[in-house]
Amino acid sequence: MSYDHRTSPMLSREEKLSRLDGVMRSIISGWHDRVKADYVTEEDREFLGLEPEIKRFHSTGNHLIKFSRQKSLHVTYGLRIVPRGDLICIESSVNNKSAKFDYDSFANRLKLHYWRNCYEKPWTDKTFGRYAYADLLQFDPRMGHSVSLDKHADKADVVRLVFQINPRHEDELMSRTDLLEDLVENYCLSPLKRLYAETFRG
């Protein structure tokens, strides 16, 4: 079925935020459900007497998945809605507890990935096929720009990536939650997961 953005419904700001929140919840829940068989879950705790190795947390506009396995990776990933005035931003994040983590290498990997891929046009959908990632989301992959690092001496450091939805395409994007979910998962979260894991392994 063809899709004409000129007939897309005009959504209120509350409806847009609700749709984006639903997309984030779906992504984190889907990830949890895909991998939970490999981990001790909260449901397993009463049968096995072991601490959960995977947990998910949901609140409005903020969705997290935490992995915690002895002698292995202890990490939390998140997706969060960040309103900035009339603009809507998507934040992806990773909590790092490794004292030896190489942030310079990680920052360079992020820059290289997003500079290489931001002008890709991944959509097979006829209407969205003309758009590159950079048309829909504004993101500067340099540390101190759209990427920030909050370092803490007594708890996990947090790396945050903030993607600003282009207001020119906001109505189109929010009316297509299937494409919105694909964009958030494959452009905002998946590269962060992969690049963090690669840097962690050295």
pLDDT digits (tens, 9 = 90+) for 40-80: 998 888 888 888 999 999 999 999 999 998 767 789 999 99
The contacts of residue 153 (CB under 8 Å, 6+ apart) are none
Rounded to two decimals, the pTM is 0.91
Question: Of 191, 163, 164, 202, whose CA–CA distance to 94 is shortest?
Answer: 191
Query: Which amino acid appears at position 52 of this protein?
Result: P
Radius of gyration of the chain (CA): 18
What are the beta bridge partners of residue 132? none
Residues of the chain with pLDDT under 50: 1-7
The residue with tokens 């979260």 is: 189
Give the pLDDT score at 43.
86
Largest CA distance in the chain: 56
Give the pLDDT score at 20.
98
Instruction: Using DSSP, state whether 172 is helix, strand or coil.
Output: helix
Task: Give the start-to-end residue ranges of the domains of the chain.
Answer: 13-201
